[in-house]
Chains A and B, each alone.
Chain A
Amino acid sequence: MTDVTMTVNGKPVTRSVRGNTLMTEFLREELRLTGTHVGCDTSQCGACVIHVNGADVKACTMFAAEAEGAEVTTIEGMANADGSLNVIQQAFQDHHGLQCGFCTPGMVMTAAALLRDNPRPTEHEIRDYLEGNICRCTGYHNIVKAIMAASGQDVSAIAAE
Chain B
Amino acid sequence: MPKDHGIGASPKRREDVRFLTGAGQYTDDINVYGQTYVHFLRSDVAHGRINSVNTEVASAMPGVVRIFTGADFDGIGGLPCGWQVTDKHGEPMKEPAHPVLAQGKVRHVGDPIAAVVAESLEEARNAAEAIEVDIEELPAAVNMKAALAEGAPKVHDDLSDNLCYDWQFGSDQADVDAAFEKAAHVTTLELVNNRLVANPMEPRVALGDYSRANDESTLYTTSQNPHVIRLLMGAFVLGIPEHKLRVVAPDVGGGFGTKIFHYAEEAFCTFAARQINRPVKWTSTRSEAFMSDAHGRDHVTKIELALDAENNFIGLRTDTLANMGAYLSTFSSSVPTWLHGTLMAGNYKTPAIQVNVKAVFTNTVPVDAYRGAGRPEATFQLERLVDKAARELGVDPIALRRQNFITSFPYETPVAVAYDTGDYVATMDKLEEMIDRAGFDARRKESEAKGKLRGLGINCYIEACGIAPSNLVGQLGARAGLYDAATVRVNATGSISVMVGAHSHGQGHETAFPQVVAEMLGIDESMIDIVHGDSSKIPFGMGTYGSRSLAVCGSAMVRATEKIINKAKKIAGHLLEASEADIELKDGQFTVAGTDKSVAWGDVTLAAYVPHNYPLEDIEPGLEETAFYDPSNFTYPAGAYACEVELDPETGKVTIERFAAADDFGNVVNPMIVEGQVHGGLAQGIGQALLETCSYDEDGQLLSASYMDYAMPRADDVPFYAVDHSCATPCTHNPLGVKGCGEAGAIGSPPAVVNAVIDALHSGGHTQVTHIDMPVSPGRVWAAMHG
Contact = CB atoms under 8 A, between A and B. Distances in A.
A17 interface: no
A92 B18 CA distance: 12
B680 A138 contact: yes
Interface in B115-161: none
A8 B237 CA distance: 45
A127 B716 contact: yes
Contacts of A138: 676, 679-680, 683
B297 to A, nearest CB: 16
A65 interface: no
B714 A93 contact: no
Contact of A93 (B20, B28, B256, B718): B20
A140 B253 contact: no
B506 interface: yes
Given A33-B22, A131-B716, A96 B706 contact: no
A62 interface: no
B21 A78 contact: yes
B580 interface: no
B671 to A, nearest CB: 8
A100 B16 contact: no
B707 A45 contact: yes
A63 interface: no
B411 interface: no
B287 A101 contact: no
Contacts of B200: 100, 102, 136
A100 B254 contact: yes
B12 A94 contact: yes
Contacts, number: 192
Interface stretch (B60-68, B97-105, B165-173, B720-728): B720-728
Given A78-B21, A130-B716, A102 B201 contact: yes
B680 A137 contact: yes
Contacts of A161: 10, 671-672, 675
Contact of A79 (B12, B15, B21, B675): B21
Contact of A133 (B287, B679, B681, B715): B715
B440 interface: no
Given A98-B20, A99-B507, A134 B722 contact: no
Contacts of A78: 21-22
B20 A104 contact: yes
A6 B252 CA distance: 31
B19 interface: yes
Pick the most buried of A41, A76, A78, A100: most chain B CB atoms within 10 A of its CB. A100
A72 interface: no
B761 interface: no
30 contacts: A33-B22, A35-B21, A35-B22, A35-B24, A36-B22, A37-B202, A44-B708, A75-B20, A75-B22, A76-B22, A89-B21, A92-B20, A96-B672, A99-B676, A100-B252, A101-B24, A102-B200, A103-B253, A105-B22, A128-B715, A133-B714, A135-B715, A136-B712, A139-B721, A140-B683, A140-B715, A143-B715, A144-B720, A159-B722, A160-B721
Given A102-B26, A160-B721, 16 more contacts: A37-B26, A37-B202, A47-B201, A75-B20, A78-B22, A79-B21, A93-B17, A99-B507, A100-B201, A100-B252, A102-B200, A108-B20, A137-B506, A138-B679, A159-B723, A161-B672
Interface of B: 10, 12-13, 15-26, 28-29, 199-203, 251-254, 256, 285-287, 505-508, 671-673, 675-676, 679-684, 706-708, 712-716, 718, 720-723, 745
